[in-house]
Amino acid sequence: MDWELDIEKFNIVLLAKWKWRLGVKNEGLWNKILNAKYRSWRNLNGNVTAKLVSWWWKGMSIVCGKGQNGNWFDNIIEWGVGQGNKTKFWEDKWVEQILHSLRFPRLFAISNCKEKIIGQLGEWRDERWVWNLLWRKERFLWESDQENELMHIITNQKLEGGRENTWCGTERKKEYSR
């Protein structure tokens, strides 16, 4: 067999698989330890500067975060929301490949549910998802317009009770894991 292994690409793929597993497989001692130490796999997208961060975590941050590879992982993957048990409403890309916190920064600023996952921001009524977003204060008229736009966007997103969240490729919306 005549082939050559590109060790750098191979390493990138293996590190990306770890990020995948951290996001999808949230049970197990290894996941609890990493979440306790690094606060979440979502922190891979930030700049890693702490001296106490392991080489492995730094490598994952470079490969999957905003390092030399330009955040490629998050650019090709988004959450496919099932019952909303893992996807953060404001901080994960789950609709139109943009964070709601960036698209609606003023609403994010006045939200009482910045850290909540989707499943905590509504309820099922007659087999239909009803949103219940909470705000610190009454909205100004222009904020209400933004809220209406946000509600239009998220109401059109199909949630499926009883189905786990998945990661999907953004190009074909192909489901990769359950």
Cα separation, 157 vs 95, whole angstroms: 7
pLDDT above 70 coverage of the chain, percent: 75
Is residue 67 pLDDT above 60, yes or no?
A: no
Mean pLDDT of 10-24: 78
Residue 128, classified by CB atoms within 10 Å of its CB into exposed (0-12), middle (13-18) or buried (19+), is: exposed
For 60, half-sphere exposure in the C-beta direction (CA atoms, 13 angstrom radius) is 21
Q: What is the pTM of this model?
A: 0.66
For the chain, which residues make up each domain, given as ranges?
7-70, 81-169
**Structure tokens given for 109:** 């600023």
**Structure tokens given for 114:** 């910045």
3-class state of residue 75 by DSSP = helix
